[in-house]
A and B are shown apart, each in its own frame.
Chain A
Amino acid sequence: MEASIPILWISIILPLLVALIGVKVRDEKIDGIAYALAVTLLLPVILVAIAAFKGLLGEGLVDPWMAHIGGVGTFALTLDGLSSLVIAGVSLVTAFVSIYSIPYMKTRITEMKEAGETPPSLGVYFFLYSLFSVSMLGLVYATNMVLFYIFLELTLLPSFLLIAYYGYGDRKRIAILYLVWTHIGAVMFLSGALYYGFHVGNFDYLDVNTMTPITGTANMLGTAAKYVALLMVLGLFVKMAVFGFHMWLPYAHAEAPTPISALLSPNLIGLAGYALARITVPIFPSFFAQYKWILIYLAFTTVIYGGLVALKQTDFKRFLAYSSISQMGYMLLGIATLTPIGITGAMIQYLSHALGKALLFMTAGVFITELHGLRDIRLMGGLARKYPLTAALALLGFMHLVGMPPTIGMWSELFIVFGLFKDVALTTEFIPIVMLVIVALMVSASYSFVTMRRIFYNKPRSDKAEMRTETPGALQYSMLFIGVMGVVFFLWINPYYHGLLEVIHKTFLFAGIGG
């Protein structure tokens, strides 16, 4: 359905306008800008909710502003079942983290000034923040590889600057490391896309007139199709930090300013998973069918490896970074099953990981702000006594990762496992896969609950929190909203499930997957 007003473009432009106004605002008066930014960033999730309520997700929503460019294709923005929960995740997290940023970044900037540095003002921060957020939204809305790539690059620059300006540790070096690595991923994707586009004649991956995915075009590439697919998939794997390509992630996500970690870690890397399902699966179905088992085992490796290495970490944010790698493994697993229910699970996994990991990074941020940069788990312990609300929200965050109800994590966990067993049950792979699933899910549960204990229970292992008590403010309340949304989506899953399934069924039908 074509929208009567260019609402998707508006949802991208409005936050930018708000942030532009904010650039020159002095740091003391920035709160209003941050709240306005949050409200404008909530627009997409409201749109998704309305579309879900009206049952429009299967059919999708197209923005009326579009451009047809010869040889490139159509630049248009859309929203449909497959992207609905991804949009919801980006929108919710960026909106609430924007409010969370106010106290966090004020403390951070004061701290940097005390250390004799001159960081750019909060106005600049919120401008970069909003540019980062809307380019992620645009990336999800896009229907064309070139537009997709433009937005992909647009996410990179502000996040690079945010790390370089406000990060921790060896932040300049890490910012460059981040830029180079994700750029390698992006360029691999681009080179594959360029080869594809020049041979096929355009770069579209979604037909905006019929809202159906483009499929079958891989035949025009002949034998090169496999290599093109490989380039694009590997590029996305770097972005997604799949095992072997994950090395940049712990640095970037641990040393970015925490609100940005909360955006980078669950949101940005998950978009690569979304792109796998949106772009590469419909275009190269036979590639995924052929390498299905390699991808499934790679996904399991990522889950188990990330989870186990996370257990070894002593830095809270680095722990969360490794846990993100592990969670991306689940997303890849869902997609690799190549079943409608598995891919549905992977897209729900995006949202559940976005909400859960945002909660956890925000937890880390609470301690960094209030306990003088405390982030070493070895010095924590017993914090629940001082920070009961934060502890409760962190538990909710961990429940998202583990997949426990009443959080949306349960659906992603169930659907991914259902997808996995749809084909493997009753084959010789049955027993090994059962063992792998048990180990993988147990690893997630172990690192979650063990870390919950190390941080919040037992006796305090340092006196950093001795004189403190929790006074819930913007930090905790923005977390609370994110946590509540995880429960809301848990209860209100039906329209999203059907929207997702309808789009994926269409894809499967056109691409001829699964018979």
Chain B
Amino acid sequence: MIDPIWIWLTPYLGASVLAILWILGVRDERVYDWVSVGSILVSAIIATVLLPVVYSGHLIYTKYSWLPSLGINFGTYMDGLGAFMALVVSWLSFLIAVYSTEYMKGDWGVQRYFFFFTFFVGSMLLLVLADNLVLMFVGWEGTGLASYALIGHWYTDEEETWVGDPGRKAFGTPMYFEPSHSGVRAILFTRAGDIGMIIGMALFYMVTGTFSIPEISETASGWMGFLASKGVLTAALLVFSLGALAKSAQFPFHEWLVTAMTGPTPVSALIHAATMVKAGVYFMLRFSPIFYNGAVALGGSALAATEQYFNIIALLGGITAFMMATMALVSRELKLIFAFSTASQLGYMFLGVGAAGLLTQKELAYEGIAASAAHLMSHAVFKAALFLIAGWAIHAVHSRFIDNMGNFSKYMKITTLSIWLAGLSLAGLPPFSGFWSKEGIIHAAEAAHLESLWILAVFTAGLTGFYTTRAIIRVFHMPPYEPPHHEAELHEAPPRMLWPYTILALTALVIGLVWPFGFGADFSNLISRTLGFKEPVKLAVEFNATTYGIITWVLAMVLLVPALYLALKVDFVSMLKTSKTARIFHAFLYDRWYINALIYIFIVGGFLGIIDILGYVDGFIDAFYHIGIPIAFILISKGFRSTHKGRPDLYLAYYAYGIGLLLLLLYMIWG
């Protein structure tokens, strides 16, 4: 059998080869294309070959020594979840790499692009296959680095690469972002969470003395009991999960993902939709069964603390899902709509995991976790397709604004079909893949008696249907609001771009079609091979009155869009001009609930203020040492000098006084 380490090692080797070639002066684009696509394909094939082994119930686990005494090794742990993630990540990366060879052709930084792209794929695969926390952290930070570099890929900050309306401000805070700025935002926001993860690791080190995930799972009831007895279990789990929340752009860390859209579109598709932002969800899928089992085994205060933790996770997920969906309603940039939508869908996944953790029935809990995994997969597929289509759309009109796009359906039939397939999957309508997985999550929320979050989730599902259809209708079926500034290239995309998204869109449909006929069961079977799953999982959607109600609600919201735009021809633009209420409401959503402005005013502004004060403090310390002390000595020296002016009579007097003083002192000491 092939060693699973090659799954993540091959892309790393590919990236290293590219780095060496670059230093040696090789600049030929095709070399970079081939090495990158080739190394990713190899790892995708290995992941596929190994999948049946895991599916049939065997754990694939190899280890090479690194820092063995701490349980830190190059260990590749391929259980159900790992195998599933590796499969999704590697094949998506492959398709998007192929797309990139066309999309990035002739770009001035194409070599750098493929280096970081390949490095990213290696890191992501390492992240999902690592058997210990530190190795996972290495992959985790690697994805962060690649994301930073690729968001800022066009670091010369030309205006067409920005996100947001140039010149727009909210409370004085600029709401337009240059690529290099967005890159810094992304790495700092996610880094803040990663520090929580480091602290979490420190706690594991202290309590268990190991970083090995299987060992942490085995000893869960031990360390959880210990932390619970000290009353810090909830805090510890939350701090540990900060990295996941930040990486997956959950409130209040969501801001970075929005502006990450300054990167090249294939990067948005791969890193900021399909894979890296799922790292946080993966983290939750990996650890929530462990936490859940530990808490259930312990009961009492540990259980209560863990439930509190899962409650918070569900709450954050629900809030993010809703909040981001509302922002997507008004956005004018095609990629931004999908970015908001990504954060929103990630919120669903967190909600699913959180709700699952609250279920007392074990089968139901595992089912909820598996539903989140299913949504991860379906979302990865359809959102990648949507972004890749957006890439072509933006390229076609040389503008990121949907105002400049329109009537695409007349020129590109296959693309139109693809975006509808992917879009309806996002909307969550049957028989598309998104329906089954989202339904599973909503069901989990219902079963966990999270009534308000359930209502929020259902409501958001309708919003999702609305904003998705709005984007499609406006870009594909309506004339543009403003004609594009440049000559538009309205025709079907070249094959290397067309095929990847068509394949993905069809996959979204096919998964949905075969889901009720055995595929769902196969998927559940694979997921139940995951570490910590103690019961086989059966993912099945029951069609009852609630299900039909939700479907009707979403369908109504989907149909509302063509009704408003095409049949009634409602003029939203002039509505904004005339109504003040509409403007206030619109600005609130368009400026992202003002959260960005608040972060800049209070946190960034606060630190800038502190820096200013510290500048003065430093100046003061400097002056004390380098002006104060020298002046003091100069003065002392002057004082002494002024008493020595060359008059012998004075010297004699000093001498006499001195002797007298000395005698007095001696008398005081010995007398």
Contacts and interface: CB of A to CB of B under 8 A. Distances in A.
Contact of A312 (B148, B199, B232, B611): B611
A457 B203 contact: no
A308 B614 contact: yes
A439 to B, nearest CB: 9
A456 B610 CA distance: 26
B157 A459 contact: yes
A211 B509 CA distance: 70
A114 B23 CA distance: 35
A157 interface: no
A19 to B, nearest CB: 31
B489 interface: no
A304 to B, nearest CB: 9
B206 A497 contact: no
A399 B148 CA distance: 12
Contacts of B205: 341, 418, 421-422
A305 B614 contact: yes
Interface string A440-480: 01100110011011001111000000000000000000001
A430 interface: yes
Interface in B537-573: none
A420 interface: yes
Contacts of A430: 232, 235
A177 interface: yes
B605 interface: no
Given A309-B615, A421-B199, A438-B196, A426 B23 contact: no
Contact of A446 (B138, B148, B188, B232): B188
A279 to B, nearest CB: 26
B198 A413 contact: yes
A498 interface: yes
Given A309-B615, A309-B618, A426-B230, A458 B178 contact: yes
A457 B155 contact: yes
Contacts of B199: 417, 421, 434, 437-438
A311 B145 CA distance: 21
Given A385-B156, A413-B198, A438-B195, A308 B611 contact: yes
Contacts of A456: 155
B191 A405 contact: no
B183 interface: yes
B178 A425 contact: no
Interface stretch (B61-69, B81-89, B371-379, B518-526): B61-69
B117 interface: no
Contact of A453 (B180, B196, B198, B206): B180
Contacts of A497: 67, 69
Given A247-B621, A247-B625, A420-B202, A311 B180 contact: no
Contacts of B203: 421, 425
Contacts of A425: 202-203, 206, 232
Contacts of A414: 134, 137, 198, 201-202
A449 B155 CA distance: 13
Contacts of A55: none
A450 B604 CA distance: 12
B399 to A, nearest CB: 22
B192 interface: yes
Contacts of B612: 312
Nearest to B133: A414
Contacts of A494: 65-68
Number of chain A interface residues as a range: 35 or more
A244 interface: yes
A64 interface: no
Interface in A372-407: 382, 384-385, 388-389, 399, 402, 404-406
Contacts of A426: 227, 230, 232
A491 B621 CA distance: 42
A421 B197 CA distance: 13
B191 to A, nearest CB: 5
B451 interface: no
B79 interface: no
A420 B203 CA distance: 10
A493 B135 CA distance: 14
Contacts of A308: 607, 610-611, 614
A305 B611 CA distance: 9
A480 B618 contact: no
Given A312-B615, A494-B66, A457 B152 contact: yes
Contacts of A37: none
Contacts of A385: 155-156
B233 to A, nearest CB: 11
A410 interface: yes
Contact of B142 (A309, A406, A452): A406
Given A309-B615, A421-B203, A449-B148, A458 B157 contact: yes
Contact of B611 (A309, A413, A422, A498): A309
Nearest to A247: B625
B239 interface: yes
Interface in B168-209: 178-181, 183-184, 187-188, 191-192, 195-196, 198-199, 201-203, 205-206
A389 B69 contact: no
A410 B206 contact: no
Contacts of B206: 418, 421-422, 425
B188 A449 contact: yes
15 contacts: A385-B155, A389-B23, A399-B145, A402-B191, A404-B144, A405-B137, A410-B138, A418-B201, A425-B203, A442-B188, A453-B180, A453-B181, A453-B183, A458-B180, A480-B23
Interface of B: 23, 65-69, 112, 134, 137-138, 141-142, 144-145, 148, 152, 155-157, 178-181, 183-184, 187-188, 191-192, 195-196, 198-199, 201-203, 205-206, 227, 230, 232, 235, 239, 607, 610-612, 614-615, 618, 621-622, 625-626
Given A421-B199, A445-B188, 13 more contacts: A247-B621, A248-B625, A312-B611, A384-B155, A414-B201, A418-B201, A425-B202, A425-B206, A438-B195, A442-B191, A452-B184, A453-B184, A497-B69
Interface of A: 177, 244, 246-248, 305, 308-309, 311-312, 341, 382, 384-385, 388-389, 399, 402, 404-406, 410, 413-414, 417-418, 420-422, 425-426, 430-431, 434, 437-438, 441-442, 445-446, 449-450, 452-453, 456-459, 480, 491, 493-494, 497-498
A-B pairs, top 10 by smallest CB distance, nearest first, are A457-B180, A421-B202, A457-B155, A405-B138, A418-B202, A426-B230, A247-B625, A445-B191, A449-B184, A312-B615
